[in-house]
Amino acid sequence: MIFLRILGIILMAFGLFLSFVIPVAGIIGLILGLLCVIRSSPKLADRINLSLSKKAAKSRQQAETLKMELEDKLKKHEEFERQVSAIKSEAVVTRTEGNRQRMEAAGLSMYIWSTCGDERVCEACKIMDDKLCLWADPTVYSRNKGKEWIPRPTGASLEHPGEKDGCRCTSLAYEPELLGEL
Ligand SMILES: [Zn+2]
């Protein structure tokens, strides 16, 4: 051990001297010398190991903090998305409710179910497309201009248009009723 330390000190001294003449060789000598001194002293080596593991622990901790921050941000983002979709479906329900109130205020008790007609329309709505419905009962429809109200077909929506999450359907006034021809 003592031999290694002496060798290290000699190397370092030699490296220091050499660095004035040949910088690269000098620096290599210095580093080699330093390594010898470190290896020769178990305590010093331990201390270096300790500080390295402290650094590792610190960066682990930093990574952990970063992960938590990211998770927090993700959670906030998801909460935001959730709120946006809640507001959106709220708006649809409000629109449906608005339609119903306007129609009923105008004395209209029926409506025609109208889908967007594209491929995103769900099966439950597709079944109801163009059917004559009753505001007072979302489970029925009529095939004879409102004379008789029968249960909606199996698989059909049992709500008014736009009430279900993501439903873009709307209600149209039934023309004969609108014109007072019934
Ligand atoms: Zn729909």
Identity of the residue numbered 34 = L
Domain ranges in the chain are 2-58, 87-178
CA dist., res. 11 & res. 36, Å (int): 9
Query: What is the token pair recorded at 85?
Result: 């979709």
Task: Please report the pLDDT score of residue 115 as a whole number.
Answer: 96
In percent, how much of the chain has pLDDT > 90? 51
- Ligand 1 mean position, distance from CA 176 (Å): 24
Q: Is the pLDDT of residue 110 over 80?
A: yes
CA dist., res. 111 & res. 108, Å (int): 8
Name which residue leads in pLDDT, 104 or 6.
104
pLDDT tens by residue, 119-171: 999 999 999 999 999 999 999 999 999 999 999 999 999 999 999 888 999 99
Is this model's pTM higher than 0.95 or not? no
Neighbours of ion ligand 1 (CB under 5 A): 125, 167, 169
Query: What is the token pair recorded at 24?
Result: 């690269």
- Ligand 1 mean position, distance from CA 91 (Å): 14
3-state SS of the chain is CHHHHHHHHHHHHHHHHHHHHCHHHHHHHHHHHHHHHHHHCHHHHHHHHHHHHHHHHHHHHHHHHHHHHHHHHHHHHHHHHHHHHHHHHHHHHHHHHHHHHHHHHCCCCEEEEECCCCCCCCHHHHHHCCCEEECCEEEEEECCCCCCCEECCCCCCCCCCCCCCCCCCEEEECHHHHCCCC
- Ligand 1 mean position, distance from CA 50 (Å): 65
- Ligand 1 mean position, distance from CA 168 (Å): 5
Q: Is the pLDDT of residue 67 over 90?
A: yes
- Ligand 1 mean position, distance from CA 167 (Å): 4
Average pLDDT, the chain: 87
Identity of the residue numbered 30 = L
- Ligand 1 mean position, distance from CA 98 (Å): 17
